[in-house]
Amino acid sequence: MDSVKELLSMRLPVASKLSWLPEAASTTADSVDWIFYFLVWSCVGLFLLVVLPVAWFCLRYRRKHEGQKALSQVDHNVKIEAAWTLLPCIYLAFLFYWGFIGFVDLYTIPVEAKHLRVIGQKWNWTVQYPDDDISVSGQGAIIGIPLGQAIRLTLSSQDVIHSFFVPNFRIKQDVVPGRYSTLWFESTKVGEFPVFCTEYCGDEHSKMLAIIKVMPQDEYKEWLVKKKSENVGLPPAELGQKLYTQKACNACHTVDGTPKIGPSFKGVYGHMTQLEGMSPVKVDDGYIRESILEPQAKIVKGYPPVMPTFKGQLSESDINALIEFIKSLK
Ligand code: CUA
């Protein structure tokens, strides 16, 4: 899915129009839903159990005329007091036990789980497949997953706190810079399930979206093969154009001349650019390369110094392709 607009208009898959929750599509989703529904309905029941008698007492025993005095006052009842202490204790202990079992399930990763690495970065997700030698990234990246296979995610952040949320799988995990967090799931349904960032992380937080595409095993294998061959043999400028969206350069840089968080790429190549506190430089291969790898080395006048480094995320040929792409935007 290339267009973020299309992605933003995507609806969460739901089982039916009356469902409160998005369609459950993982092995742990049903147990999460059961405890959720139990909590909601038991709280509704307890609320009525308290509020209805109070309302009835207010009406039934209200003061009928000025100066009416109470005939007696009861201020202790051991049986009732014991009941309202013990019964909630049992209810809460039961809820705790149930929740804890679910929690342990959610964080006990099956040994046969397939390993993926997830990197959060303003404002897109990169998912690396260490066993298959591919990676996907960019706003609206399609993360292919084989049906019925346990998946273990190791999550880390390039910059600020993000949060990886897949409503249909009922999983959510904060992604914190400087440490790894883990998460696992096993999908039970074929389909496309949106991934959200649920920790406010800046301007384009709401566009930090991706899609988990669950496919049957054989379709998944085909997808892998296609993914591997995708960027082979592309002309550099075309590869650069792809990387421009895949690496989410488009989150900050436009190609039509409008300034965004960073300067536009249109028509900059070969021209002089004004820098903050330095003499102007010519935008050439060396300058673009430095701007990608060490973005804080030179700051273009009028823009904030917020670009993260792409060191280690782009190969030599990727960088060359991006340079060729920028060169082509006359
Ligand atoms: Cu990343 Cu919000």
Which CATH number fits the domain that encloses residue 241? 1.10.760.10
Lowest mean pLDDT among 141-150, 176-185, 258-267, 305-314: 305-314
Of the residues 230, 261, 289, the one at which a domain ends? 230
Ligand 1 center from residue 162 Cα (angstroms): 4
What ligand 1 atom has the least distance to the C-alpha of 161? 1
101-105, 149-153, 255-259: which has the highest mean pLDDT?
Answer: 149-153
Question: Is the confidence at residue 175, as pLDDT, over 80?
Answer: yes
What ligand 1 atom has the least distance to the C-alpha of 175? 1
Ligand 1 center from residue 170 Cα (angstroms): 18
Name residues contacting ligand 1 (CB within 6 A).
120, 123, 162, 197, 199-201, 205, 208
pLDDT tens, residue by residue, 216-233: 999 999 999 888 887 777
Domain shared by 42 and 119, yes or no: yes
What ligand 1 atom has the least distance to the C-alpha of 202? 2
For the chain, give the mean pLDDT. 88
- For 171-178, the CB contacts below 8 A with 24+ separation are 171/26, 171/28, 171/106, 172/198, 174/199, 175/118, 175/120, 175/199
The DSSP annotation for 169-230 comes to GTEEEEE-BTS-EEEEEEB-S-EEEEEEE-S--STTGGG--EEEEEE-HHHHHHHHHHHHHT
16-30, 207-221, 227-241, 256-270: which has the highest mean pLDDT?
Answer: 207-221
* pLDDT classification of 180: cutoffs 50, 70, 90: very high
* pLDDT classification of 4: cutoffs 50, 70, 90: low
Of the residues 230, 264, 288, the one at which a domain ends? 230
Q: Is residue 28 part of a domain?
A: yes
What ligand 1 atom has the least distance to the C-alpha of 122? 1
Look at the alpha carbons of 296, 300, 304, 307 in this order and tell me if their dihedral is positive or negative.
negative
Residue 199 has a pLDDT of 94
Question: Is the confidence at residue 18, as pLDDT, over 80?
Answer: no
Range of the domain at 241: 236-328
Q: Is residue 81 part of a domain?
A: no
Contact 206, 51 (CB under 8 A): no
What ligand 1 atom has the least distance to the C-alpha of 205? 2
Ligand 1 center from residue 317 Cα (angstroms): 29
Ligand 1 center from residue 205 Cα (angstroms): 4
* pLDDT classification of 8: cutoffs 50, 70, 90: low
Ligand 1 center from residue 102 Cα (angstroms): 26
- Whether the bond into 123 is cis, omega within 30 of 0: yes
Mean pLDDT of 55-75: 87
Domain shared by 139 and 243, yes or no: no
Q: Nearest residue CA, atom 1 of ligand 1?
A: 162
325: CB partners within 8 A, 6+ apart: 236, 237, 238, 239, 240, 241, 243, 244, 265
Mean pLDDT of 47-55: 95
Domain shared by 282 and 220, yes or no: no
Domain shared by 249 and 139, yes or no: no
Domain shared by 300 and 322, yes or no: yes
Residue 90 has a pLDDT of 96
Mean pLDDT of 278-304: 89
* pLDDT classification of 1: cutoffs 50, 70, 90: very low
Residue 15 has a pLDDT of 76
Per the structure, the count of domains in the chain is 2
Question: Is the confidence at residue 3, as pLDDT, over 70?
Answer: no
Q: Is residue 51 part of a domain?
A: yes
Percentage of the chain beyond pLDDT 70 is 97
* pLDDT classification of 161: cutoffs 50, 70, 90: very high
pLDDT tens, residue by residue, 251-287: 889 888 888 888 999 888 888 888 888 888 889 888 9
Ligand 1 center from residue 207 Cα (angstroms): 8
